């Protein structure tokens, strides 16, 4: 192989390594693995606990329910099991997300800005006290204040 091709391949694998080692990719991989384990738990819950309990109360076993069309059996019971699985997973995810959102502290509301203590003289553009009636720099009388007799 030419040196240019080798450099291209090395660059490709370096970019792939950087991509794979980013935090969000690893988080996603962990989520997929945990999701697979969680699915196995939910399937066991539905197949080993919920469906037999429903069968106990209604004298029916959903896993064997189906419609025979000729030599083909349409497994309605399996579909019902899948719906129950979905509802349980959706409910558990809802509870987990709601709990995580509740644990995250809401950002504090920004504090109200403090009232200004200074203003700019309209005549000389110097910064002066907000209570000033006359500018101490240019001695101009500021508008909007009543006459003060000393």
All structural domains of the chain with their residue ranges: 3-103, 114-143
Q: What is the mean pLDDT of residues 32-61?
A: 80
3-103 belongs to CATH 2.60.120.10: no
Whether 150 has a pLDDT exceeding 70, the answer reads no
Question: What pLDDT, on a 0 to 100 scale, did the predictor assign at position 88?
Answer: 80
Q: What would the pLDDT profile of 116-133 be if each residue is shown by its tens digit?
A: 888 899 888 889 888 888
Query: Greater confidence, 106 or 36?
Result: 36
CA–CA separation, 45 and 90 (whole Å):
14
Q: DSSP string spanning 104-150? A: SPPPPPPPPPPPPSEEE-TTT--EEETT-SB-TTT-PBPTTS-----
59 confidence band (pLDDT: 50, 70, 90): confident
Whether the CB-CB separation of 43 and 33 falls below 8 Å is answered with no
- Looking at residue 148, its pLDDT comes to 60
- Give pLDDT, residue 67: 84
Mean pLDDT of the chain: 80
Spatial separation of the C-alpha atoms in residues 125 and 135, rounded to whole Å = 10
- For range 51-58, the mean pLDDT: 78
């Amino acid at each position: 192989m030419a040196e240019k091709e080798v450099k291209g391949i090395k660059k490709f694998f370096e970019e792939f390594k950087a991509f794979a080692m980013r935090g969000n990719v690893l988080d996603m991989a962990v989520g997929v693995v945990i999701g697979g384990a969680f699915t196995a738990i939910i399937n066991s819950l539905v197949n080993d606990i919920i469906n037999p309990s429903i069968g106990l109360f209604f004298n029916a076993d959903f896993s064997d329910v189906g419609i025979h069309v000729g030599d083909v059996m349409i497994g309605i019971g399996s579909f019902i099991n899948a719906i129950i699985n979905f509802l349980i997973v959706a409910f558990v995810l809802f509870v987990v997300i709601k709990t995580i959102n509740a644990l995250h502290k809401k950002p504090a509301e920004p504090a109200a800005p403090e009232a200004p203590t200074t203003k700019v003289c309209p005549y000389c553009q110097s910064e002066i006290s907000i209570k000033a009636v006359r500018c101490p720099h240019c001695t101009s009388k500021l508008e909007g204040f009543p006459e003060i007799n000393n």
